[in-house]
Amino acid sequence: MTSVKPSVRTVVIIGAILLAGIMYYIADPIKSPFMPRCIFHTITGLQCPGCGSQRLIHALLHADFAGAWRANALLLLMLPYILLLTAAELWPARLPRLHNVLHSTVAIIAVAAVISGWFILRNFVFPGL
C-alpha cells in the first residue's frame, strides 16, 4: 500500500480556500468595512464583469441562490465552466481533451465575447442588472 503525502503547496492552498470560505460566510461584503471594493467601479461608476462576486460567494455560502443571481448572474452561470477549467488546470495529463478544448482559440474568444457582452448589458442596455 502506498501513501500519498499532500505537498505543502496543496495544504496551503486548501487552507487558504477554507479560510476565505469562513471569512465570506461570516462577513457580509455589503456591510463589512474590511472587504475590498472594486477599484474599477470606484473610479468609473461602471460595474466590471466581476462586480458582485463577493456578494455572490457570500450568498452561495448561505444557500441564497436568488441573492447570488442578483449579485452577478453571469458568474453564477459560469461556475460550472470555472470548475471544469480548474479541473483541467489541476490535472492536464489526466484530462488532456478537456484541457485542449477549454484552451482552444474558439473557447477563449467565446468566453471573452460573453464577458464583454455582460459588461455592455449590465452597464448600458439594462443598467443595474
Tell me the pLDDT of the chain averaged across its residues. Answer: 92
76, part of any domain: yes
12, part of any domain: yes
Average pLDDT for 56-72: 96
74, part of any domain: yes
2, part of any domain: no
For the chain, the domain total comes to: 1
| Domain hosting residue 50, numbered range | 8-125
In Å, what is the CA distance from 26 to each residue of 32, 86, 105, 106? 10, 25, 40, 39
pLDDT beyond 90 at 127: no
In Å, what is the CA distance from 53 to each residue of 70, 92, 125? 10, 27, 21
3, part of any domain: no
72, part of any domain: yes
Residue of 53, 45, 70 whose CA lies nearest to 124: 45
Q: Give the model's pLDDT for residue 97.
A: 97
Q: What is the pLDDT of residues 108-122, one digit of tens each?
A: 999 999 999 999 999
Write down the pTM of the prediction: 0.83
Q: Give the model's pLDDT for residue 112.
A: 97
CB 114 within 8 A of CB 121: no
103, part of any domain: yes
pLDDT beyond 70 at 2: no
What's the pLDDT band for 4 if we cut at 50, 70, 90?
A: low
* d(C-alpha 102, C-alpha 87), whole Å: 11
Q: Give the model's pLDDT for residue 39.
A: 94
* d(C-alpha 7, C-alpha 10), whole Å: 5
* d(C-alpha 23, C-alpha 50), whole Å: 19
Q: What is the pLDDT of residues 65-84, one digit of tens each?
A: 999 999 999 999 999 999 99
DSSP annotation of 35 reads: S
87, part of any domain: yes
Q: Name residues whose C-beta falls within 8 Å of residue 77's C-beta, 6 or more positions apart in sequence.
A: none
Q: Give the model's pLDDT for residue 3.
A: 57
DSSP annotation of 64 reads: -
